[in-house]
C-alpha cells in the first residue's frame, strides 16, 4: 500500500529499449576463439593470476602484461538456480537454469545449463562448456551435462 505522505509520481507504461555499445577490443579474442569452439581467457604474465571473464589488465597486480591461455571445457557444478519467472529480456525463453561451474584452472564461470532438469541437478556434477551461436550469429557459451 502506498504511503499517503509520498509525493505524487508519474509512471510511464511505455517500454524503454536500451542499446549498449561496450568496447571489447582488448578482449575480442575471447569472442573470436569462442566462435571457433575454444574457451580462452587472460593470465597475468607478471603474477600468474588467471582471470575470468578475460581482463585487459590484471585485477590482482594492476599490471597490463596479460597473455591469452586456453581453458579446458570441463567444469564442476558449484551451484545453480532455476529461473521460472524470467526477466523481460528473456521473456521469449522457457524457464532456464543458471549455474556457476568451476573449471580445473580454478576460475568460476556463470552460464545457463542447456537442457537441464533442475530437480535432478546436484552440486559436484560434471559439466562441459560448449559454444553456441544465436540467430544473429553472435557466439555465446552454455554448460551441458558431461
Distances (CA, A) of 122 to 3, 81, 113, 118: 44, 11, 12, 9
| Piece of 27-35, 37-45, 67-75, 134-142 that binds Zn ion (CB under 5 A) | 37-45
Number of H helices, E strands in the chain: 1, 8
Alpha carbon distance 2, 24 (integer Å): 44
Give the nearer residue to Zn ion in terms of CB position, either 52 or 143. 52
CB of 24 or CB of 61, closer to Zn ion: 61
Size of site (CB under 5 A) for Zn ion: 8
Residue with cell 597475468: 44
- Per-residue binder mask for Zn ion (CB under 5 A), 105-144, x = binder: ----------------------------------------
Interface with Zn ion by CB under 5 A: which range of 4-12, 40-48, 101-109, 121-129?
A: 40-48
Give the Cα separation of 62 and 130 in Å (integer).
31
Segment contacting Zn ion by CB under 5 A, of 16-24, 35-43, 47-55, 94-102: 47-55
60 binds Zn ion (CB under 5 A): yes
Positive/negative CA dihedral, 109, 111, 117, 118: positive
Amino acid at each position: 500500500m502506498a504511503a499517503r505522505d509520498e509525493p505524487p509520481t508519474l509512471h510511464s507504461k511505455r517500454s524503454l529499449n536500451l542499446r549498449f555499445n561496450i568496447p571489447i577490443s582488448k578482449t575480442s579474442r575471447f569472442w573470436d576463439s569462442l566462435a571457433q569452439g575454444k574457451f580462452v581467457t587472460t593470465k597475468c604474465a607478471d603474477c600468474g593470476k588467471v582471470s575470468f571473464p578475460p581482463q585487459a589488465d590484471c585485477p590482482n597486480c594492476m599490471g597490463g602484461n596479460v597473455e591469452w591461455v586456453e581453458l579446458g571445457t570441463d567444469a564442476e557444478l558449484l551451484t545453480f538456480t532455476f529461473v521460472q519467472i524470467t526477466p523481460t529480456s528473456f521473456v521469449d525463453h522457457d524457464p532456464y537454469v543458471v549455474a556457476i561451474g568451476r573449471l580445473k584452472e580454478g576460475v568460476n564461470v556463470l552460464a545457463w545449463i542447456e537442457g537441464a532438469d533442475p530437480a535432478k541437478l546436484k552440486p559436484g556434477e560434471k559439466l562441459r562448456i560448449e559454444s553456441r551461436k544465436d540467430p544473429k550469429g553472435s557466439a555465446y557459451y552454455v554448460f551441458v551435462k558431461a
